[in-house]
Amino acid sequence: MPHSSDLVAEPVPISLVAGRYLLYDIDVVTYLRRTHNICGVLIGGIPQAPQQNVFQGLPLELLPEEAKLLVDQNIGYVVDDAAWHENHYTTLHGKDRQNYLESLRAQGLKASQALNAVARQKQEKALARQAIVRATKSADSEREEIGGASPSKDTDKMTPTEAENPSSRPISPAPSDVSKFSSRAWDASKPLAMTPSTSYNSSSLPRNPNPPPVPIAPASYPLFAHLHARKYFMMPGLRFGCNYNVYPGDPLRFHSHFLATSYGWNEEIAMLDLVGGGRLGTGVKKGFLIGGEDVESEGEGDLVRTFVLEWAGM
């Protein structure tokens, strides 16, 4: 069975929102990470836990370097999200508008049916527990009438604490509670009001506009492209004061091997930066990688050279 990310067609749309390059489709996010070593950073909140920021969700924000790399290699293209949204939905009339509203209603109806199924399961469990309680009470009453007055099976199974303190025994739902729960059963015929995370399907975005906007990348882009061409994964390096944390494989499986910082080819590098970077990298079991593009070279292709520093004690 093919994975959902295998069905993604290139080039993929990259939404430009307030100067940020965002991906809203989980299939696209998975595809780029698995196939093209593009990680990005999740910046969205999780609906089930909105008051924490340890675990984030969609959308995924791409670095300008990642967005430019995807555009340069014709893997993705940039769409001005606000302009496209305004142009598309101000002209949405007639059948198109009806289809859009119908799709929202279908999603709401599906969610309503799912809630109704959960409610029915809870109701059936409550009724089953109530039936057991009634059967136990009926059996005890029959024994008392006969004169045996023998304890029920439930009493035999009680712990000494429960036998001495009846308040510690598990309480079964009363018939009134079951009827009250039954009255609150979800009406599956009424669709829920839906607020989708995106107002459009990614397949409805314009396909590779001509000419596509090219993201403006920082001066460290040549180093990023150089490392990416060698199958490295990269994440933002703010934690260690560098441009990128460089991983030999997926960051979920590997620790980073290098702290990468880009310099101009003729830029003077302070000795304090070299010593500090080397000591920091070695202290966290990484190498301090510096690199830059030889802009004076007359050659073609990849003109980036890299060096790795490690701190060694005397």
d(CA 41, CA 61): 5
**Ramachandran sector of residue 71 (left: φ over 0; alpha: ψ -120 to 50; beta: rest):** alpha
Amino acid at 151: P
Judge whether 257 counts as a catalytic residue: no
d(CA 115, CA 48): 16
Based on the number of CB atoms within 10 Å of its own CB, is 200 exposed (0-12), middle (13-18) or buried (19 or more)? middle
Q: Which residue is catalytic, options 31, 226, 247, 257?
A: 247
Buried b (16+ CB within 10 A) or exposed e, 10-30: bbbbbbbeeeebbbbbebbbe
- Work out the number of other CB atoms within 10 angstroms of the CB of residue 41: 13
Report the alpha-carbon angle 108-42-110, nearest 5. 10
Backbone torsions φ then ψ of 286, nearest 5 degrees: -140, 165
Q: Which residue is catalytic, options 255, 257, 263, 285?
A: 255
- Work out the number of other CB atoms within 10 angstroms of the CB of residue 78: 20
Residues in the chain: 314
Place of tokens 């809203």: 24
Judge whether 286 counts as a catalytic residue: yes
Amino acid at 20: R
Q: Which residue is catalytic, options 68, 228, 257, 286?
A: 286
Strand partners, 80: 16
Q: Whose CA is closest to 242, among 286, 303, 295?
A: 286
287-293 and 258-262 strand pairing:
parallel
* Residues involved in catalysis: 247, 255, 286
